[in-house]
Amino acid sequence: MDIFAGQAILFAIGFGLLGYLSGSLTPSIWITRRLKGVDVRDGGSGHATTTNTIRQAGFGPGVLVFIIDVTKGFLPTWLALRYAPADWIVPLTAALAVVGHCWPVFAGFRGGMGLATLGGGLLAVQPLAFLVGLTLLIVLVLVIHHSARASVATGLLLAPVLWLAGMRGMVLSIGICSGLVIAFRFLIDWNRHYRELWLDREKPQ
């Protein structure tokens, strides 16, 4: 193993750990517990998400959670983009931030769904990719009328759509790696019933 390869592996471990630990921060749990005295995962969708925070703590706290969740993906990816010695470390860092958000070590591995954190990773590398991914998600929700299934489809189709939009390299790799994590994560809600798609609420029984 040459010196550069060994250095790249060490950087990959460091940035990968940074991405995962950043993703593992759980503002929805902290903020909802602080404001309402409840665990956000005990109601609504059962996930530590922006929409579940809005449902239980209000719109303002939900916006704050969204901003932090985007930042959790943006910051480690941005740092890897500027300081990692190999391009492949950047999508690895972004994907592990999404993994940390979905299965956070600081919250018993019960976290959110990863879309905002994925958005942050895309935003760090190519803002246009963030807009493409957001547009894809909105279109699929409107067509499929089921936000979890639309999110699975978004995860699977993100990379092909980015490729069709002429995006290559690190952006495409983020679309592949993080998109697959998103698709897998949303399978847990595949059979859920919804009343209000944008708030991800269940129909009354």
Residues 6+ away with beta carbon under 8 Å from 141: 147, 150, 197
pLDDT in tens, 13-46: 999 999 999 999 999 999 999 999 999 999 888 9
The count of domains in the chain is 1
| Residue 205 located in a structural domain | no
d(C-alpha 105, C-alpha 163), whole Å: 33
Range of the domain at 129: 3-199
| Residue 171 located in a structural domain | yes
Q: What is the pLDDT of residue 2?
A: 62
Higher-confidence residue of 195 and 52: namely 52
| Residue 204 located in a structural domain | no
| Residue 153 located in a structural domain | yes
d(C-alpha 130, C-alpha 60), whole Å: 23
